[in-house]
Amino acid sequence: MGLLENKVAYVSGGGSGIGRAVAEAYALEGAKVVLSDINVEHGEETVKIIKEKGGEAFFVKGDSSSAIDNKHMVDVTVSKYGRLDIAFNNAGMGGPAKPTGEYEPDAWDKVIALNLSGVFYACRYQLEQMEKNGGGSIVNIASIHGQVAAPNSVAYTASKHGVVGLTKNIAVEYAQKNIRCNAVGPGYIETALLKDNLNKDMMNAVAAKSPMNRLGTSEEIAELVVFLSSEKSSFTTGSYIIADGGYTAV
């Protein structure tokens, strides 16, 4: 029996990268997976991959920066499966690279809307449903930049620090309601987005930032998320767990 047998799990940004890896890992551990993405083609491809491996998954298109869409995602999940046990709030963006004094307000608003407000909206409606279930587990995507600066990415850094604070607040408020909330802080991960925007030398330079001298993989982050989503971490809440190959240790 898998770690998440008979559980219903939701993943935002499940069409690619870490989101896809987590959706696949949830299904492998026995969960029924509902995933959302703004990109329909990518989302449906993840569902196809999961079903080909014998798992159960369902796709719903949604904009994670929208409160209405976040409520709809929970409503669709409950309509299809009757409950919501696990949520991985993963959708996010980096934003433009500019120093703070040159950062456009519109760009700030867009990054904060998805990376921070979107996570709040998701949690808002997930918590409401999990209370009805009698419990649940939420994992929010932060970053190493929820702890350290990312020069020329002020909105990203601020949003990820905000996610850590949001996660801790939820954990304390819902600790006696059998609902846990944790955050993960990935370092530099080898995703399609990174590979599409960096050449080999740039990739090697990014990898060298970690004492392990390599990039992480989406699957390595997924293993951590599965642990935090399962009863294996039943006494863990309000934590911000970094997986960065040692980047923030020095």
Respond yes or no: is residue 240 known to be catalytic.
no
Measured CA distances, 24 to 40, 42, 151, 215, 242 (Å): 17, 13, 33, 20, 21
The residue from 26, 103, 125, 156 that is catalytic is: 156
Measured CA distances, 120 to 67, 81, 114, 206 (Å): 9, 23, 10, 30
What are the residue ranges of helices labelled H in the chain? 17-28, 40-52, 67-81, 105-112, 118-133, 154-174, 192-197, 200-207, 218-229
Question: Could you give phi then psi for residue 62, rounded to 5 degrees?
Answer: -165, 150
Q: Which are the catalytic amino acids?
A: 156
